[in-house]
Structure 1
């Protein structure tokens, strides 16, 4: 299993030296583990060059099996820890950028004060990729909007306002509220959220098709673009927490909200560390912005 972990880290970082530093081995030890793995399989797995390493064609075919094996090993390790009680473990979370920035840091800090040996892995995605990661076991649970998963159980946590985001000298800044009609003809910067988007759904329900200038996967990139006058947008109020971007926000008319909840693996498959952290989140929902 150590050889598989070493091989995975070399592929992930593209470099034997970096992989050795990340895993706490010498470079020669990592090279030896990969070489013995190749010898056991009787297959060359990596191309080595001055610029780094990359998978061979045969290595590309075997790599998905390696990843599944490591996930199953981690699940077995987590189950053993569950039997022995929560002392350590790894919690894998699929998350969106606003939750990563404004919810998880305080939650993780407080949780690790109680369970200092528990580690976290955060994968940032959207309303499509996160449920798929949960389904395949890539993550234990993730944050999504319940509206995006009508046939999947989602534990509701909280909702927050969506706001119109405008450049500082935009013609709509003088209005106390902004309607979807006002925004429909403007260059619109759409947050790429996967198969479901609260703003685009609201536009469609009112019979509008906004002039989408660009689709962007990150809220904060959109704020930078709006600041430069590249367009307008609609973003969750949570995104504006502690931001230094020079933009103007206005309430929408009609009012729009974003719901956030948790989608997770079946309770029987969920590691005890993740179960405990989900319970921790639920007890601290009222404190979240």
Structure 2
């Protein structure tokens, strides 16, 4: 069944590479699974072009049956989960501020529509704290950057952009993209990462050094300080959507990305409810855009 799930994900994301990242496989293993399916069926299922990945004419005839099998498998999983006790359970998550505020509420609601008795315990913290929580069992898994946390398994579910946050009347706010070197010319308010910082890593790669005057953990406090003219900052694009602060968010040149991942130790050792929610997150990546 994993081979069919891989095929479905490739078609959903129009890419072998993106499907591999989403499912936590290497691109080579994804290609091998597709090749194994094609060998089993004796036909070529996929073709690649400049437009991405498409079904062959033979694949189009077969795919409705594959979809039907996948839906039946999903029903089978849910039924088995109910038998094993998924009617009740607790999902313990550690998450960074932007993810916990802007993604999780809607995802919790949608998951509980399917499993109404499932409870959630959410711990909010920086990268270092989340890693410690995962390692000592305080949380079942974390939602954080894929670039930090050696020794943990990670499955990327979405990539967000880190943007420059400026006072609305700041001269740089008139630019379409803000050169990263220009962010070193005045006080910088750094979001505290607890061991890893996307802004500091971006400055390092650019060969420049920011004038860090403040280190703050809360996004809202940082935006209030930017609005007050105390400095400039770099935060996730997620915080732009729900803010009334008089600040402007601009893309940085070169662009700064944050690959958000599910981080965990051993998935099979986690409670069934947490395993299901992890799978739910992977299956609903489009909702994170």
Please give the TM-score of this superposition, normalised by the length of structure 2.
0.69
For the pair 1:263 / 2:270, whether they are aligned, the reply is: no
What is the CA-CA distance between 1:201 and the residue it aligns to? 0.6
- Whether the 8 Å contact between 2:166 and 2:226 is mirrored in structure 1 is yes
What is the CA-CA distance between 1:150 and the residue it aligns to? 4.6
Count the aligned residue pairs.
209
SS of the aligned residue for 1:128 comes to helix
Could you report, residue by residue, the CA deviation over 1:165-210 in whole angstroms, capped at 9, with x for unpaired residues?
A: 1011112222222111101121000000111111101111222221
Q: Distance in 1 between matches of 2:152 and 2:271?
A: 20
Q: Which residue of 1 aligns with 2:89?
A: 89
Larger radius of gyration: 1
Q: Distance in 2 between matches of 1:205 and 1:189?
A: 19
What is the CA-CA distance between 1:120 and the residue it aligns to? 0.6
Q: 1:282 to 1:105 in 2, by over 3 A?
A: same
SS of the aligned residue for 2:133 comes to helix
Q: Which residue of 2 aligns with 1:285?
A: 285
Structure 1: 4+ residue segments shifted above 6 A? none
Structure 2: gaps spanning 5 or more residues? 1-80
Q: Which residue of 1 aligns with 2:167?
A: 167
1:115-264 superposed matches below 5 A: 115-264=115-264
Structure 1: gaps spanning 5 or more residues? 1-80
Q: Distance in 1 between matches of 2:248 and 2:267?
A: 43
What is the CA-CA distance between 1:152 and the residue it aligns to? 2.8
What is the CA-CA distance between 1:82 and the residue it aligns to? 8.5
Q: Which residue of 2 aligns with 1:25?
A: none
1:12-161 superposed matches below 5 A: 84-161=84-161
Q: Distance in 1 between matches of 2:102 and 2:275?
A: 21
- Whether the 8 Å contact between 2:268 and 2:275 is mirrored in structure 1 is no
Could you report, residue by residue, the CA deviation over 1:209-234 in whole angstroms, capped at 9, with x for unpaired residues?
A: 21111001011211111111110001
Q: Distance in 1 between matches of 2:206 and 2:256?
A: 13
Q: Distance in 2 between matches of 1:228 and 1:117?
A: 44
Q: Distance in 2 between matches of 1:134 and 1:204?
A: 28
What is the CA-CA distance between 1:241 and the residue it aligns to? 1.3
What is the CA-CA distance between 1:123 and the residue it aligns to? 0.5
- Whether the 8 Å contact between 1:137 and 1:265 is mirrored in structure 2 is no
Could you report, residue by residue, the CA deviation over 1:91-111 in whole angstroms, capped at 9, with x for unpaired residues?
A: 110011111111100100011
Q: Distance in 2 between matches of 1:250 and 1:110?
A: 32
- Whether the 8 Å contact between 1:82 and 1:272 is mirrored in structure 2 is no
